[in-house]
Every structure is written in structure tokens, then in C-alpha cells.
Amino acid sequence: MSKIEFLDLGMQPIANNFLSSVSDIKNEYKFRLAVTFDDDTKLVSLSNFVSPDLMFNDSYVYHSSLSKTMRSHFKDAALSFLKDYSPEKVLEIGSNDGVFLKNFSSKRSTAIGVEPCSNFANITRDLGYATYDKFWNNQLAKEIVLNHGKQDLIFSANCICHIQNLDEAFSAISKTMSSTGIFVFEDPSLLSMINRRSYDQIYDEHAHIFSIIALRNLLDKHDLSIFKVQSLKVHGGSNRIFVCHKGVRSIEESVSEIISKEIDAGLNTIDAYRRFAYDVEKSKRQLLDIIHELKRKNYKIISYGATSKSTTVFNYCGIGTNLIDYIVDTTPAKHGKLSPGAHIPVISPEEGFNDTVDYAFLGAWNYENEICEKERKFLKKNRFITHVPYVRFIK
Ligand code: TYD
């Protein structure tokens, strides 16, 4: 059997589907969130995909520009691509609010966005970038090549892993990329997820969590080669993967280096995933133990960052308003809403992050440094709780 399911995180909602009111609860969509390893391609994917229209639409709430870390991350990325590759035509797949694109000239012919969530597509269109509010596929690729020609740099951050049909996505990229062009994409690293036991990288949008081993197999079918890989700290550990048409560029050592690390961690065999599943169950028990213990002592516990990741944790662990009073988050579109599945109210930090709070579960653990820096006053007397890489307090 080539496909082996190794982890079941139970019935889960759409991770970013914040509910406007209690009356929405009865119609809340749920699906079984489980993960499968394909022993042929070595790809790790969800066992059940959710229809893209349910996840990516005009009520999408994830705003890249709201974080200082991500703003400087994408600015640095754009500047380094301009310096190293001097692309004339740039296309971004999943352009969100333009946090990356806006570092390129806004002349319509040189930088293009693809963004199926029309609320975000409108933002980049208003900034002057031609933006297609459509899903990335062969048909759209054809339209873009016809209207704008082939592209020198195709960039995509935290989006390729959302695409269920990777064969079509890579074939469309191969047809859109100029002969000496590059395709650069960033997505959460499977190696980091396994090493950090950060099982909350698993949610509906992440149809796949990539190893370089699997990507090399999948890209090869489309005559595409990975020529460089950079490890990134963002999103709890990501890879930036550089791809070209086969034979066009020499393959840098970084590719074999990271593949060796993945092989050492066993990512090409099912055993590593079975061990991970065991660790995930242990993490759940330990998190529940410390939260119940604090609750017994009558401490007020809230959550910091209404992330997709915390949707997985709360629904898998059965954490609701019985344990967490509310979640604070800086995203205005999440305020006044209920978190998916767990139905914990979301409010602004100004309203809820005050002296009455004793402990805060760090839902946005991937911004630990930025948040700890900002919340030094809170940390003088109080603690954050995290489960990454193991259940612990942050002082
Ligand atoms: P993120 O971890 O990027 O997303 P996800 O798991 O959904 O992919 O989301 C970070 C969330 O945390 C986002 O809703 C904004 C919020 N946040 C704060 O509330 N305060 C902060 O200081 C930071 C950095 C993020």
C-alpha cells in the first residue's frame, strides 16, 4: 500500500472561518483532519481535502502586512531577488495584500498578482498591479502568458502547499516561466514540523507539508529542478525553494545538504511519522495537564494570536471557553468573532490584554520573539504557555 495514514486530529472546522455569531455554530462545516504519507512520492498530505471555495473567498482574514516580521521578510526577499536575478517580469501566486509585490515597480506589465480572495485582490489592484482573482491552474497560466508573456520570476509564499493538485500547479508554472526564469516558493518545512512537534501546522489550508525529497520527485515530472534551498525562520520553520527548467542552472550544495538532513530524520520512511504521531498525543496530554492545573488554581488564562494553528490545537485537545476566557489578536476582521470550532471570543489586545490576565497560550508561537519583545511588561509577572517544541512556559 503506498498511501499510509499516520495521524488523526479529529473533526475540525475551517481553520480561518471565524464565526460572526452563536447562530452560525449550527451550520459550521467540519471535516476529519488526518494526515497521510505517500510511500511512492514521499509526499505528506491531508487524507481529506476541503473544497478551496470554502477556504479562500472574499471573507478570508489572513493579512500578511499586519506583522512587522513578515513585512521585513518580504521586503528583504524582493530586494535579494532583484539583486541576484534582475527579473523584468514578476508574477506572484497568492499575492494576499501585496506585501511582496509592492517592492516591485507598479507598472502593470512588470508585476502581476494572482489572488483568489477578492477582498485582497482588490487591495493590490488598487496599488496598481494587474491582479487575477482566480485560482492558479493551467487555464489561468495560459491567460497570463497571452496577456503578459512568460515570467522571469514566479514567486509564491505559503500558497503552493494550499494547492491540492500539485501536478497541474507545477505544469502551469513550467509553461509560464521564461526559459531562463526562476520559480521561488516558500512553505512550512516538514523537517521543522517533525523536529518541533508543531502538529498545528496541519489544518485545512495546508493540503501538503513539503519535504525537499518529495518536491524533487514531483517537480522532476515537469522537467523542473530545485537548484537552491534556504532554511527560513518564518512560520515556525520554512523552506525557500528555488526552481528552474531542468539543466538551466547548476544545482547548489544547499539542496543535497537539506536532503541529507531529511533522510537522517527518516522523512522518506513511515517510521518517523508514526513516532511523530505518538509525540503529538503526548503533547496534547501535557498541554491539557498544565492548563487544567492552572485553572484549578483559579488563574485566568487567555490565548494570544487567533491563528489557524491554534484552531487545530484547541479542537484536537478539546480546549474551549471552559479553559480559555478569550483570544486577543491584532487583526480587526477577527474582532467580535468566535474562533472556529472552539467558539472562544476574539477581541483586540487593547481590550483584553491587561492586568487581569495570568497566563496566555501563545497561539502565534511562530512570532515568539516579536511578541515577547512587545510584551515585556506582561512577562515581568506572568507567563506565556506554548507546546512548541514541547509543552512549556515562556518567561
Ligand atoms: P500566523 O501565525 O501568521 O498565521 P496562521 O497560523 O493563521 O497561519 O498569524 C498570526 C496571528 O497572530 C494573526 O492573526 C495576527 C496575530 N498576531 C497578534 O495578535 N499579535 C502579534 O504581535 C502578532 C505578531 C500576530
Summarised one tens digit per residue, pLDDT across range 207-259 is 999 999 999 999 999 999 999 999 999 989 999 999 999 999 999 999 999 99
The atom number, within ligand 1, closest to the CA of 67 reads 24
Task: List the helix and strand counts (H, then E) for the chain.
Answer: 13, 17
Residue 180 Cα distances to 87, 149, 160, 223, 313, angstroms: 10, 14, 21, 13, 43
Q: Using alpha carbons only, give the angle 68, 70, 76 rounded to the nearest 5 degrees.
A: 105
The CA distance from 226 to 7, in Å, is 29
> Distance, CA 77 to ligand 1 centroid (Å)?
20
The overall pTM is greater than 0.75: yes
The answer to whether the CB of 372 is under 6 A from ligand 1 is no
- For residue 370, count other CB atoms closer than 10 A to its CB: 14
Identify whether 389 is preceded by a cis peptide bond (ω within 30 of 0). yes
- pLDDT-derived band of residue 62, with 50, 70 and 90 as boundaries? confident
> Distance, CA 272 to ligand 1 centroid (Å)?
29
The answer to whether the CB of 367 is under 6 A from ligand 1 is yes
Ligand 1 pocket: which of 329, 339, 374, 388 to mutate (most atoms within 8 A of CB): 329
Ligand 1 pocket: which of 204, 308, 367, 384 to mutate (most atoms within 8 A of CB): 367
* Strand bridging mode 224-232 / 359-362: unpaired
The answer to whether the CB of 41 is under 6 A from ligand 1 is no
> Distance, CA 143 to ligand 1 centroid (Å)?
34
Q: Which residues pair with 230 in a beta bridge?
A: 240
Average pLDDT over residues 152-159: 97
pLDDT, averaged across the chain: 95
The answer to whether the CB of 130 is under 6 A from ligand 1 is no
pLDDT at 107 over 60: no
Q: What is the pLDDT of residues 110-150, one digit of tens each?
A: 899 999 999 999 999 999 999 999 999 999 999 999 999 99
pLDDT at 295 over 90: yes
- For residue 61, count other CB atoms closer than 10 A to its CB: 18
> Distance, CA 267 to ligand 1 centroid (Å)?
28
The atom number, within ligand 1, closest to the CA of 205 reads 8
Q: What is the pLDDT of residues 180-197, one digit of tens each?
A: 999 999 999 999 999 999
Residue 90: which H helix or E strand, with range? strand 90-93
Q: What is the pLDDT of residues 42-61, one digit of tens each?
A: 999 999 999 998 998 887 77
The answer to whether the CB of 370 is under 6 A from ligand 1 is yes
What's the pLDDT score for residue 160? 98
Average pLDDT over residues 277-294: 98
Nearest CA to ligand 1 atom 9: 307
